Structure formats: C-alpha cells, structure tokens
Chains A and B, each alone.
Chain A
Amino acid sequence: DAGVIQSPRHEVTEMGQEVTLRCKPISGHDYLFWYRQTMMRGLELLIYFNNNVPIDDSGMPEDRFSAKMPNASFSTLKIQPSEPRDSAVYFCASKRTNNQPQHFGDGTRLSIL
C-alpha cells in the first residue's frame, strides 16, 4: 500500500512568489489534513477535509493561504504571495474512519528567501 505522497520534498523560492504544495492521500481514506511544523509553534493543523469538503480551516494563518481538494486523490495547499515567515515543513496526512490514526506524508520543506 502506497503511503501519503507529497511533492515537492523541498521548495526554495523568493518572497512574493506563489507556492503550491501537493498531496496524494492513501486510497480509500476520506479525511485529509494539512499541517505546518515550525520550531516555534510545533505541529499545527491548518485545515482538514472530509470527503473532499473543507470542514475546518480555522488554522489557516491568513488569506494568503488556500487549500483545495478537487477529488479524493489530490489536494493542494497554495501560498500567494509567499513570505519568509512561511518557511516551515508542511505535512499532509490522511485517515480512513473516525477511530483510525492519521497517516502522514514525508512533508515538504519550504524555504522562502
């Protein structure tokens, strides 16, 4: 069984540029989560989807951040325009049912110069 797949693994770009992070959840999982990990704040939930519908986006830091899930096998997290303080590791996770643990991808390390 393939795990959660995230791309790219690393992204380095200049501030002001648009950044798009991608995630392919595990097949059959109906929940998808986007997290951000920083030294200062640890692991923070940004947004999660159930059956492709955004359920809670209260963790999204600003309007510069947006997330979509056009189908059950793909989600994107977009930052536009990007700022140096957005530099972090972004994780995607998915899960099957309410009493199952979340499975994480290996993350995207984002550096905004």
Chain B
Amino acid sequence: DQQVKQNSPSLSVQEGRISILNCDYTNSMFDYFLWYKKYPAEGPTFLISISSIKDKNEDGRFTVFLNKSAKHLSLHIVPSQPGDSAVYFCAASVGFMSNYQLIWGAGTKLIIKP
C-alpha cells in the first residue's frame, strides 16, 4: 500500500518554463513533507520542506504547495534550468518534529530541454 504516490515517472519541460511535480498521499496523519533531488550516482539531496500548518513554502526558484483537503502537494520550479534535470522524490512523515520516519514516493524524473 503506497502511502506516498508520485504518479508521473517522468516529466519533460523546456528550459525557462515552469516545472510542476506532483505528489499525493493517503495518510491524513502526515504533517511534514519534504522534497529531495537526486542526480545519478549520488545520494538524494534535500531541497525544500513544508509542515501541515502552512500551505506554501518558497525558497528561491522552488515553491512547494500543500493542499491538505486533497492530500496533494506540488513542487514548482521557476524558471527551469538544465541543472534541474534529476529525479525528484517526495517524502512524508507523521510528527513535524520527528521526521526520521520518512515515507518516500517512487520519484519523478525531470528532464529540462534546452
């Protein structure tokens, strides 16, 4: 039973345009969400997070939106750059202060076209 789902295995976006990566979850107890980026042959790197008390968190070109009623979050990258080509993982946990038990999505491969 996948509690965190990333339904798009891959996404192709033109350089300079907006990339939108989506993530759905089923466990209403999740209250802390993270996005990680992963390049080939490297470990995942933390990108941005959001707690359930917010519906938006922004960090430079990256914005995460949380819709609790829909159990949906999305990561927006504006503008997309070639270096953004990577696999993006969504992860969730119960307990904002206890994010050691992370439940991970399967990842979405983002390809930025020049």
The answer on a CB contact under 8 Å between B97 and A99 is yes
Q: Nearest CB to that of B97 among chain A residues?
A: A98
Chain-A contact segment, one of B10-18, B55-63, B102-110? B102-110
Looking at B19-27, B40-48, B68-76, the stretch in contact with chain A turns out to be: B40-48
* B30 / chain A contacts, CB cutoff of 8 Å: none
Q: Is the interface of B mostly helix, strand, loop or mixed?
A: loop
How far, in angstroms, from A47 to B49 measured CA to CA in the complex? Answer: 23
- The distance from the CB of A9 to the nearest CB of chain B, in whole angstroms, is 8
* A106 & B101 in contact (Cβ 8 Å cutoff): no
**Interface code A6-45, partner B: CB below 8 Å = 1, 0 otherwise?**
0000000000000000000000000101000000001111
B73 vs chain A, min Cβ distance (A): 16
Assuming the A-B contacts A42-B107, A43-B104, are A98 and B43 also in contact, with contact meaning beta carbons closer than 8 angstroms in the complex?
no
Chain B contact residues, CB within 8 Å of chain A: 34, 36, 41-46, 49, 89, 96-102, 104-107
Binding site for B on A (CB under 8 A): 4, 31, 33, 42-45, 48, 50, 55-56, 91, 93, 95, 98-99, 101-107
